[in-house]
């Protein structure tokens, strides 16, 4: 796969963490932007002042989640991941343990 590293622009700021996760999970910049603009579901993020949005994949057996925070008029994309299966609505967001540890170290 030919991965293109996203660049900061007038609407989006990208962290190194999300770039690493995009490469790991095979998630494109355009998919993340589409999910943030037109989410199927929106939840409160686990980190302080964050939002998590989700869209199911075409097979409906997997979801792609994106976590971001608003910085003025821009969205700082913090993380993205694929969730196997369908997560229950209104419950705690299903974030893999490895990502939780990385997010905790980024916030401190």
Cα–Cα distance for residue pair 81/8, rounded to 1 Å: 20
- Cα(47)–Cα(44) distance, rounded to whole angstroms? 9
What are the residue boundaries of the structural domains of the chain, listed by start? 12-107
* Confidence (pLDDT) at 79: 93
Q: Is the predicted pLDDT of residue 32 greater than 60, yes or no?
A: yes
Residue range 68-91, pLDDT digits in tens: 999 999 999 999 999 888 877 776
**The pLDDT of residue 13 is above 80:** yes
Asked whether the predicted pLDDT for residue 92 surpasses 80, the reply is no
Of 81, 78, 73, whose CA–CA distance to 98 is shortest? 81
Architecture of domain 12-107: 2-Layer Sandwich (3.30)
């Amino acid at each position: 796969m030919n991965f293109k590293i996203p660049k900061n622009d007038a609407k989006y700021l990208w962290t190194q963490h999300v770039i690493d996760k995009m490469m790991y999970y095979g998630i494109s910049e355009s998919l993340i932007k589409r999910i943030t603009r037109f989410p199927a579901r929106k939840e409160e993020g686990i980190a302080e002042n964050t939002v998590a949005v989700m869209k199911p994949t075409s097979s409906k057996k997997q979801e792609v989640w994106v976590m971001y925070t608003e910085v003025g008029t821009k969205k700082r994309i913090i993380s993205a991941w694929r969730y196997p299966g369908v997560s229950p609505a209104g419950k705690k967001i299903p974030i893999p343990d490895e990502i939780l540890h990385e997010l905790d170290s980024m916030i401190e």
